Amino acid sequence: MRVGWRNRDHPSYWAFLVHRISGLLLSLFLPLHFWVLGRALAGEAALDGFLRWTERPLVKASEVALVFLLAAHLAGGLRLLLVEFVGWRRQAQRSWVAVAAGVALFCALAFALNLY
């Protein structure tokens, strides 16, 4: 076994990947978000047309995914702040990763249940 592959089994590595990938995907969402804000500035009719389009099931599912990405990125960032300011304790790392994942799943499920 190579040394570089050993750390990829640790939950902190997967938390790092989720945090990095969620940040990248959220940055890809930003242009769409700004475009929608521009539609709102263009007038009520333009925004109403877009809001009717957002009632589709695929768009609703993507909203749940977006909330999960936001919550995962937030929880991962808070976990990193705990590591920085509270200190690195190897035993607590697995717990912090589990809490961050639980918070992200809870937020996405709560949002999904509120949609329907």
What is the percent of the chain where pLDDT is above 70? 91
Q: Please give the Cα distance from 14 to 7 (Å, whole number).
A: 10
Span 23-46, average pLDDT: 89
Number of structural domains the chain divides into: 1
The whole-angstrom separation of Cα 60 and Cα 45 is: 21
pLDDT in tens, 59-100: 999 999 999 999 999 998 988 888 888 876 767 778 888 888
Sorting pLDDT into bands at 50, 70 and 90, what band is 4? Answer: low
Query: At 14, which CATH number?
Result: 1.20.1300.10
Q: What is the mean pLDDT of residues 39-53?
A: 86
Q: Which domain holds residue 42?
A: 3-115
